[in-house]
Amino acid sequence: MQRHRIATRLGVLALLGGGLVPLAAAPAGASPGCVDETAPGILQNGCDDSTPPETTLTPSTTPNAAGLVTVSSMTFTLAWQVSDGDPGPFGLECRLTGGPQAHDWRACTSPVTYADLPDAAAGTYVLEARAVDTGDRARTPDTSPALPPTVPDTPDEDPTPATFTWGQDTTAPFVFVTGTSYDETTPTQPVVTGAGVPIRINSSEPGSRFECTDNDLPVACAGGRWELPDPAAGRHRFSARTIDAAGNASAWSEPIEFFVPRNLTRQRGWKKVTDPGYFRGDAVKASRRGARLVLPRTTVGELRLLASAGPRHGKVRVRVGRRDWHVVNLSGPRTAMKQLVVIDRYSGLRTGRIVIESLSAKPVVLDAVVARPNRFPAATRDSGR
């Protein structure tokens, strides 16, 4: 940027000794590079400091990639910079756009704070700050009483104010999680026999993302109707939360519970059979009396069999540990998979291996087993998550 001192070359007349004597042109002014607008001499135009100070602005909080912050108070550190040795004095002016605290240019000091700002639901906030050469602003370079004005007075404030734009969202969204699996026998802990578990997840704020856990382990998920793919056998507790564009996170949802059966695999006396209607696409089949399936030791309060039924199908008997046998008749209308409650959830707990035995040479097709306690521990979540 350039500073210049302009000396006029106009001829003037002066009255000396009672006579009119023509004078030479006024002496040239100082060399270009003035740093202030000092008063000119009688036969000189003034000096215009045409290089205003520059402005820096640093916010207390940096917006995220969406341009949003989650705080309602913003503090800004402001400063001016000069490169020509101008001693000043200098000052600062600020202008805020957006919200009820908006104001036009006015003097401000660093740091400047705007507190209790409401969320900018309809747009964004914009703060502009400019440094001002307050010493030069009050002066005009053309003040010679004997010369016509020839020096323009350029602005004495930063013509390119430092600008900061941000959006604000301090309100956490709400998450809504609904399990859509149906189980008439245990509606609050349904048995799920599909390839995936259908769950509906929604947020109170459009555009929010979701975080989900299954048995407290993170799983990828999506909003709307979504399915947890290929869940492992056993009890599941699913929970979710939503995070809006600003980064505000909702509380974790109350867990929804469901249970996935244990798929049966071939043992001695049984062979594998396949059908799209079976749980996981396969089952085991026996056609001789005394063929046994033995499952690992477990605690059972409710026991169900998923089995294929048919007019010529036989019977099996089931027990847990050393307790009584329970006979299950698989004869009936043909169906690929049918849920049969062997021990209901009100019969008390028992512990031991589950033994299933064929009672005749008639074919029996067994698909999966539901073996779970009839009292479920409370689903809890670490409050610090």
* Tens digits of residue pLDDT in 258-290: 999 999 999 999 999 999 999 999 999 999 999
Using CA atoms, how far apart are residues 320 and 214, in angstroms rounded to an integer?
A: 29
The mean pLDDT of the chain is 84
The answer to whether 357 and 317 have CB atoms below 8 angstroms apart is: yes
Beta strands in 247-380 (DSSP E): 256-260, 262-263, 271-274, 282-286, 292-300, 302-309, 315-320, 326-329, 335-343, 350-358, 364-372
Looking at residue 37, its pLDDT comes to: 65
**pLDDT classification of 195: cutoffs 50, 70, 90:** confident
The answer to whether 338 and 350 have CB atoms below 8 angstroms apart is: no
Q: Which residue has the higher pLDDT, 380 or 173?
A: 173
Beta-bridged to residue 249, according to DSSP, are 243
Q: Is the pLDDT of residue 152 over 60?
A: yes
Other beta carbons less than 10 A from residue 52's beta carbon: 24
Looking at residue 39, its pLDDT comes to: 61
Cβ-based neighbours of 343, under 8 Å, separated by 6 or more: 300, 301, 302, 303, 320, 326, 350
Residue 17's Cβ-count burial label (10 Å; 0-12, 13-18, 19+) is exposed
Q: Is the pLDDT of residue 381 over 60?
A: no
| CATH numbers and ranges of domains, the chain | 54-168 (2.60.40), 175-260 (2.60.40.10), 262-372 (2.60.120.260)
Q: Which two tokens stand for residue 184?
A: 């008439």
Cβ-based neighbours of 214, under 8 Å, separated by 6 or more: 228, 231, 236, 237, 238
Using CA atoms, how far apart are residues 33 and 38, in angstroms rounded to an integer?
A: 13
User: 143 — phi, psi (to 5°)?
Assistant: -125, 10
Strand pairing of 68-69 and 162-168?
A: parallel
Comparing C-alpha atoms, which of 109, 95, 112, 91 is closest to residue 157? 91
Q: Which residue has the higher pLDDT, 3 or 351?
A: 351
DSSP 8-state code for residue 135: H
Residue 58's Cβ-count burial label (10 Å; 0-12, 13-18, 19+) is middle
Q: What angle do CA 3, 4, 9 make, to 5 degrees?
A: 170
What mean pLDDT comes out for the span 102-121? 93
Helix (H, G, I), strand (E, B) or coil at 182: coil
What mean pLDDT comes out for the span 328-345? 92
Looking at residue 272, its pLDDT comes to: 96
Strand pairing of 315-320 and 162-168?
A: unpaired
**pLDDT classification of 40: cutoffs 50, 70, 90:** low
Using CA atoms, how far apart are residues 124 and 9, in angstroms rounded to an integer?
A: 54
Which spans in 6-45 are helix H?
none
The answer to whether 282 and 268 have CB atoms below 8 angstroms apart is: no
Q: Is the pLDDT of residue 155 over 50?
A: yes
Looking at residue 102, its pLDDT comes to: 95
Cβ-based neighbours of 300, under 8 Å, separated by 6 or more: 320, 343, 349, 350, 351, 354, 371, 372, 373
* Tens digits of residue pLDDT in 227-258: 999 899 999 999 999 999 999 999 999 999 99
